[in-house]
Amino acid sequence: MIDDYSSSPDAPPSPCIGVCTIHPKTQWCEGCYRTLDEIAAWWDYTPQQKRVILSKLEDRLTHIMDGI
């Protein structure tokens, strides 16, 4: 049996907003602030791993807003 964490009722949704451009300096997506590795692995992450990534996104946005 394959675990499907993405369909778990406690799994947070993807933060993707459809603006998929990687910032050359930070290497974060300019839409969701995840790295390419985080984006690629999102559907394989457990709900807890997703929450860890999500907890980093606000700090990344703040970093960008402060001028990188």
Q: Is 53 exposed, middle or buried (0-12, 13-18, 19+ CB in 10 A)?
A: buried
**pLDDT of 21 over the 90 cut:** yes
Strand partners, 1: none
Distance CA 22, CA 35 (A): 8
Instruction: With cut-offs at 50, 70 and 90, classify the pLDDT of residue 31.
Output: very high
Q: Which of these ranges, 10-14, 15-19, 55-59, 64-68, has the smallest mean pLDDT?
A: 64-68
Tell me the pLDDT band of 2, cut-offs 50, 70 and 90. very low
Alpha-carbon Rg for the chain in angstroms: 13
Name which residue leads in pLDDT, 9 or 14. Answer: 14
